[in-house]
Chain A
Amino acid sequence: MRLIGMVQLIGIASWIGLFSRVIRAVEAEGTSLGFEIDQDIDLQGDCNESLGNYKHNCKSGFLSNEGGSETEIEVTETVIEDAPQPTINLRTREDDSIAVKDQIWYPYSEHLSIKPLPKNYLLASFDFDTQSNEFVPGKPSTDFDDYSHYTVFPKAFKPILDQTSTRQLHLRFTRGFWDAESWGRLPHDGFKSGGSGVEIWAILEADSKDSAFRQWKTLVNSLSGLFCASMNFIDGSKTTFPVESFHPVDDTTLPLFDQNKQLYLVRAALANEPICTENLTPLVKLFPTKGKSGITTLLDGHKVFDSSWHSLSVDISTDCDDQTERCSHSLQALVDMVINVPNTLARSENPIPKPLPGDKLRCDLDKPHDAFHCFQLPYETEGSYGLSQLFGKYIQGSSLMSQEPSQVCVDIADSWNTFIQVNGSLFATTDNCFELKDFQQQDIYFESNNTNEVVDVEPVPVYVSRSLTGYGQDRGGLRTVFVNPQDEPVTLIYFESLPWFMRIYLSTMHLEDNPQSPVNISLDDILQSTYYMPAADRVRPTHLEYKITIPANTTLAVSYQFDKSLLQYAEYPPDANHGFEIESAVITVIEPTTYQLRTATLLLLLSTPDFSMPYNVIILTSTVMGLIFGTLFNLLVKKMLPVEEADKIQEGNGLRNKIQLFKSRIMAKFNLKRREVKTDLKE
């Protein structure tokens, strides 16, 4: 058997020779040894004669199949149309090349938590965590021994992060309105959701601010392609370098690969970016389950973007071990959404909206009602539904590559019941957390006799709203209202980045008189530190950050004025009359708790020209210039005459003269005719 094998090996000896030569050239001892071993690989009997590694392999459990296992290598010339080439077939009667291990798992976990909110809303939070393989920082990828391995961490990120020396990356895609007064705090205390549109910030390692900005440009352009968002429109006029906001909580853990460089925090936001399926699809593709198993099967663009509020977020950070000097990236991706349950159910039942039949109307019985009159009740307080009705899909199995199975947790009050449906039977658990079963189609059911009774919502430390004031197209004002409903003062950092065409006057910043606010309070008392970087036209935005303390149970309104500047003709967007979206202000509460919230975006109306204006201007000025030139030319070129002479000529050429001439001609003709008649009569 061995002999036959050896004879057959001759066919491939030449290419093996190539490698052995190469290897000899590279490393005399270790690798060439490895090569000889390779000639043995499939010859089970050779075990004892081979050297080093292979001997070890032979003993290492899963490979040795005494007696039974025989492997042959055959070199066959397989002719395939268009692509003739030799194919080596490894024929094994009992496979020893693929081992089966006890358990393999990868650092990937997924979790879904569901929480009913008041007024029949439902918050669903998808959480995906994964970690990359370890790598040695700063090693060039063209090194002969450098290989980047990926298992569950998406391949797309590391090259981008390496190229731009990014240590931390945060991406937010958010749309909708979070009703803080009834829903309470934002999920994850607001640190994982952005303002309306796209928001991105990153910590980059660079030797200067300029090179940090260049890397940032590369980063946003790459991400733009990856997530199909218009992040490539982020330029200097939208980018800020935040001073106090957005800083990671523990700054010291971020590694510096090159000690001569520094870390820069860069941020930008696109307020008018629509968030849609094309952003969700690439996100789902980043996960190893690819939307085919586990909770990712629920993520369907139609349902996610049909919700009242939704937020997609991606956070990547670099963690390094000081001792081994190896680093890895960790990625957390979240999809949060608030679903209006009755609306979604109605839509899944009846995709085309139809009026409810009379018997299904829920009338307010306290008010007069009959066949023709009905005051409808605001919303139903009883109900039962399944996740499959809300998402239009069942959960397909669990994530197989994680150490723990995928988990779904439901946070409900006593009047609620929740079950998991597996194979047609319903199961319940005490803590309302369900572990998903492999390969099974599953669903989560909810039922309640009072949907209004939900787990207490956590109070929000501060409410902030911002609005535009004033009228006219040349100036306006910005008014920010801080409401502290708590019994203790709240300290927060207010971050605002305004486009350069809003020229703010910081000197006009003042506290507005408000009957609810204390009388003897001035802005200087509550404002602790201010950072202000004025805008430069088309170069950088206004960057305003201040730390402010809002006294307990107080409402304060801070306002300031700004001028609207005129844009250049080509700077107007295609839908200029829509207005310009001003990105949200970011409020980071630092005391007494940590919390982050964003105001709604604003729509600023600038004076918008009529876009045929330039051509009109050209035509008008050209006409005026033509007129002037024509007059001047005529003045210079036309004949000048004294008035008398001109009158004479005028007489000759005048209208009266012409009429007389015409008259005399007609008369002459008339006379001629008369004469002819006379002569006829005479005849």
Chain B
Amino acid sequence: MYPTTFKLRKLIGVCFLALYLLLGVPLWYKLTTTYRAPLPIEYIQALHDDRLHDIHMVIPVYLKCDSYKFPDLHKAVQVQVNSLLDTKDQGIPWSLQLMPYDAEKLQDSNNLNGSDYHVVNLVLDEAVGFSLAYDTKETTVFFDDPSIITNDLPFFIAQTLVEHAFELEWSVLSGDERLEVTNSMAISYRPNIHLSISLLTGDGYPVSWEIDSTLKKYFSPLRKFLSPLVNFTVDTGILYYNDLNLHTLNNRQNVTWKDLSHAVDLSELLSMNYFSEAASLNLAIVFPSEQNSKDGFNFINDNWYSFLVPQWGMLTINKYPLKQNSSLTENYLTPIMYQFATDIFQLLGLKKDSQELTSPCITIDSFRRITILQNIHKAEETLWSLVKLTQSFQTMSIPEEVLGNVTEALDLRLQIIDMLNDPLQGGDESWNRALILSNKLVELSEAAFFHGEMVQQNFFPQEHKLAVYLPLLGPITVVTFFGFIRLIKEKPDGKKRHSNGSEKSSEIEGKKSN
């Protein structure tokens, strides 16, 4: 009788299985899993679901009255403003912080560049009224003595401020309308925009235009005016033998906007994507070709007509072709530049309709605030998309840089919100800084989303991994598991022998009986 090895063999089998399960599988999993940086998913989801409520934009407004002294007026107006704001459901909470005019404090900042803070001027007049200043962030409220006696003045100031001076905030933030961009005319906001001004003529005659002097005279001031919001880079060019395919409309009588938008071929202007700015606007002045349309475009009734092309720019179509050696003078270009300068506000999204801006300074100020909030919203949505992306592709790697960008973006967001919420910060400079930071916020969130290792599907799916490892894992698994199962099934040596012996004896017995 030999010593039985059954227990030892069983132990070895168990050890192998344990090694396989406890060491092999985790090690394999660990070594072959892709790195997924831990993103603050819950925080981003909370941002997306709007559960944080950490934005409460406060805009400081200073009350100034030279004729009378109202020590408590700002408090009374504050109460009125608050109750007025409460009448509407506020999508994004905002409020005005009324403060008495402090000449010394404001003087310093005002000296630098015009007006920094919004100031309400109270002027004693014969009737009650208000006017929004053209060139400063100033609201003038006219009041008469009866309005003080009846105590209507605070309400009147509050109404003026909320419904007129801060009309844009009032309409955008305090409505059902959220910050989603619904304007189909305007391009999405970018801090740098390229502007292409093109003169197109259907013929090859040389033409010239006094564009440089016109632009310097009429467009440079606008560039400077809009510079807190948008920086423009401008180029101009003359394109020959191109009437944007408009001569095809010549045979038709009633040309509608739809026909025009179907016929117009902007491809040659669209394909000019050589500039580094992400967004671009165009102004194209088109002249028909003398050969194709000798009597000019029939569908243009006057000398020229201008159209807005949504998210593209302005198209000015001239009726008559240019003669040889024509030169467009400033006289010709000036009205077009005016028209374009008016429309550019619409293309930038500063206003929705074609109405004029009565108080551009105040509107731009408000637009800047809305843009900051839109940027924050956009960044939040991008981060939410990133979270959704990472959750739906469980095997996709999330590099460290993405986490870095996300953390930086979230920090930046808090920084911007601190600036927005601070009632004492509300000067031009702080809004500008917040805008720049919010642009950076959008950039960071997009950099996180569009990281090369993630969206380019540069990751190995799980099936691929399995296919590569199966030739090794298959045999080892089969050997280990089936070996173990056989060990379990195998009876200890003694029993087996015994059962073998009994089988044999029964067989012998059977033979004998036969």
Give A contacts to B, CB under 8 Å: 12, 14-19, 21-27, 31, 34, 38, 41-42, 57, 63, 73, 78, 80-92, 95-106, 141-142, 144-152, 155-157, 159-160, 163, 222, 226, 285, 288-290, 292-293, 397, 399-401, 618-619, 621-623, 625-627, 629-630, 633-634, 636-642, 645, 649, 652, 664, 668, 671
> Does the CB pair B221–A149 fall under 8 Å?
no
Main secondary structure of the interface of B (DSSP, over half): mixed
Do B207 and A104 have beta carbons less than 8 Å apart? Answer: yes
Q: Which B residues lie within 8 Å of A21 (CB)?
A: 134-135, 360
Once the chains bind, are A144 and B514 in contact (CB under 8 Å)? no
CA distance A146 to B211 in the complex (A): 12
| Residue pair A101, B208 in contact (C-beta under 8 Å) | yes
Residue pair B328, A147 in contact (C-beta under 8 Å): no
Measured CB to CB, the nearest residue on chain A to B305 is: A87
Q: Do B9 and A639 touch across chains, with their CB atoms under 8 A apart? A: yes
Query: Which residues of chain B from 334 to 389 have a CB within 8 Å of any chain A CB?
Result: 334-335, 338-339, 341-343, 346, 353-354, 356-358, 360
Q: A104-B207, A106-B206 are in contact. Are A637 and B331 (CB under 8 A)?
A: no
Complex Cα gap A104–B326 (Å): 8
Taking a contact as CB atoms under 8 Å apart, the answer to whether B241 and A144 are in contact is: no
Q: How far is the CA of A31 from the CA of B224 in the complex (A)?
A: 13
In the complex formed, the residue of B with least CB distance to A292 is B241
The contact sample of 20 A-B pairs, CB cut-off 8 A, is A26-B221, A38-B334, A83-B307, A85-B306, A98-B322, A100-B325, A106-B206, A147-B234, A155-B274, A159-B276, A222-B274, A292-B240, A400-B203, A401-B205, A618-B472, A619-B471, A626-B471, A634-B479, A639-B5, A652-B500
Tell me whether A148 and B236 are in contact in the complex, defined as CB-CB below 8 angstroms, given that A34-B217, A292-B241, A623-B475 are known contacts: yes
- Which of B185, B211, B322, B358 sits near A14, CB closer than 8 Å? B358
User: Is B155 in the interface zone, CB < 8 Å from A?
Assistant: no
* Those of B102-157 within 8 Å (CB) of chain A: 114, 134-135
Per the bound structure, the CA–CA distance linking A222 and B206 in Å amounts to 30
B357: chain A residues at CB < 8 Å are 15, 18
Tell me if B476 counts as interface (CB < 8 A to partner A).
yes
Bound state CA distance, A163 and B275, in angstroms?
A: 9
Closest to B301 in A: A89
What is the CA–CA distance of A23 and B134 in the complex, to the nearest angstrom?
Answer: 12
Q: Is A63 in contact with B331, judged by CB distance below 8 angstroms?
A: yes
Q: Is the CB of B134 within 8 A of A17?
A: yes
Residues of B within 8 A of A145 (CB): 216, 220
Pairwise interchain contact A149-B483, C-beta atoms closer than 8 A: no
- Note all chain B residues with C-beta closer than 8 A to A78: 305
Say whether B180 faces chain A, with CB atoms less than 8 Å apart.
Answer: no
Contacting A142 at CB < 8 Å: which of B231, B322, B360, B490? B231
Q: Once bound together, how far apart are the Cα atoms of A625 and B479, in whole Å?
A: 12
Asked, given contacts A73-B335, A156-B274, whether A148 binds B234 with beta carbons under 8 Å apart, the answer is yes
Q: By the criterion CB–CB under 8 Å, are B218 and A19 in contact?
A: yes
Say whether, besides A34-B217, A149-B235, A637-B487, A622 and B475 are in contact (CB < 8 Å). Answer: yes
- At the interface, yes or no: B215 with Cβ under 8 Å from chain A? yes
> Do A80 and B192 touch across chains, with their CB atoms under 8 A apart?
no
Q: A629-B476, A636-B12 are in contact. Are A97 and B328 (CB under 8 A)?
A: yes
7 A-B pairs with the lowest CB-CB distances in the bound complex, closest first: A626-B475, A97-B332, A622-B471, A622-B472, A150-B237, A89-B302, A401-B206
Cβ of B51 under 8 Å from chain A: no
Complex contacts, B487 vs chain A, CB 8 Å: 637
- Other-chain contact of B258, A41, A81, A633, A641 (Cβ < 8 Å): A81
Q: What A residues does B215 contact at CB under 8 A? A: 147
Q: Name the residue of chain B whose CB is nearest to the CB of A16.
A: B338
Task: List chain A residues, Cβ under 8 A from B506.
Answer: none
Select which of B225, B334, B338, B471 is within 8 A of A15 by beta carbon: B338
Q: If the complex has contacts A84-B353, A87-B305, A639-B9, are A41 and B276 also in contact, measured as CB distance less than 8 A?
A: no
Bound form: Cα–Cα A356–B479 in Å: 76
Residues from chain A with a CB closer than 8 A to the CB of B302 are 89-91
B356 and A15 within 8 A (CB): yes
What 0/1 readout, one digit per residue, does chain B (257-296) give for beta carbons within 8 Å of chain A?
Answer: 1100000000010001011100000000000000000000
A25 lies within 8 A of B237 (CB): no
- Judging by beta carbons under 8 Å apart, are B2 and A98 in contact? no
Q: Which residues of A contact B322 (CB under 8 A)?
A: 98
B328→A98 contact, CB < 8 A = yes
B13 within 8 Å of A (CB atoms): yes
Contact yes or no, B206 A84, CB < 8 A: no
Check if B227 is an interface residue, CB within 8 A of chain A.
yes
Question: B283 to nearest A CB, angstroms?
Answer: 13
Give the residues in chain A near B462, CB-CB below 8 Å: none
Q: Is the CB of B237 within 8 A of A290?
A: no
Decide if B256 is an interface residue (CB 8 Å cutoff). Answer: yes
Tell me whether B303 and A92 are in contact (CB under 8 A): yes
Q: Which residues of B contact A633 (CB under 8 A)?
A: 16, 479-480, 483
Q: Type the 1/0 row for B216-255, where 1 means its CB is closer than 8 Å to any CB of A.
A: 1110111111010001111111111110000000000000
| CB-contact partner of B257 in A81, A89, A90, A625, under 8 A | A81
Q: Give the Cβ gap from A572 to chain B, nearest Cβ, in Å.
A: 19
List of B residues within 8 angstroms of A152 by Cβ: 238
- Does B323 belong to the interface (CB within 8 Å)? yes
| Docked complex Cα distance between A664 and B513 (Å) | 13
CB-CB under 8 A from B216, the residues of chain A are: 145, 147
B274 engages A14 (CB within 8 Å): no
Residues of B within 8 A of A16 (CB): 338
Q: Are A618 and B257 in contact, CB atoms less than 8 angstroms apart?
A: no
Q: Is B511 an interface residue, CB under 8 A from the partner?
A: yes
Also in contact, A640 and B5, with CB within 8 A (given A19-B218, A155-B237, A290-B241)? yes
Most buried by B among A18, A31, A81, A623: A18
- Chain A hits for B66, CB < 8 A: none
CB atoms of B114 and A25 under 8 A apart: yes
Q: A633-B16, A641-B2 are in contact. Are A144 and B240 (CB under 8 A)?
A: no
Bound state CA distance, A18 and B337, in angstroms?
13
Residues of B411-442 contacting chain A, CB below 8 A = none
Q: Which residues of A contact B327 (CB under 8 A)?
A: 98-101, 104
Q: A136 → chain B, closest Cβ, in Å?
A: 13
Smallest CB gap from B197: residue in A: A147
B308→A83 contact, CB < 8 A:
yes
Q: Which residue of A lies closest to B208 (CB)?
A: A104
Q: Is B54 at the interface (CB under 8 A from chain A)?
A: no
Inter-chain contacts of B504 with A (CB < 8 A): 652
Residue of B nearest to A76 (CB): B302
Given contacts A86-B354, A629-B479, contact A103 B493 (CB under 8 A): no
Check B235 against A91 for contact (C-beta < 8 Å): no
A142 pairs with B217, CB closer than 8 A:
no
A83-B310 in contact (CB<8A): yes
Do A637 and B9 touch (CB < 8 A)?
yes
A626 touches B276 (CB 8 A): no
Let me know if B204 and A400 touch, CB within 8 A.
yes
Taking a contact as CB atoms under 8 Å apart, the answer to whether A401 and B240 are in contact is yes
Chain A residues whose C-beta falls within 8 Å of the C-beta of B493 in the assembled complex: 639
Q: Pick from B241, B256, B272, B353: contact of A81, CB below 8 A.
A: B256
Q: Which residue of A lies closest to B511 (CB)?
A: A664
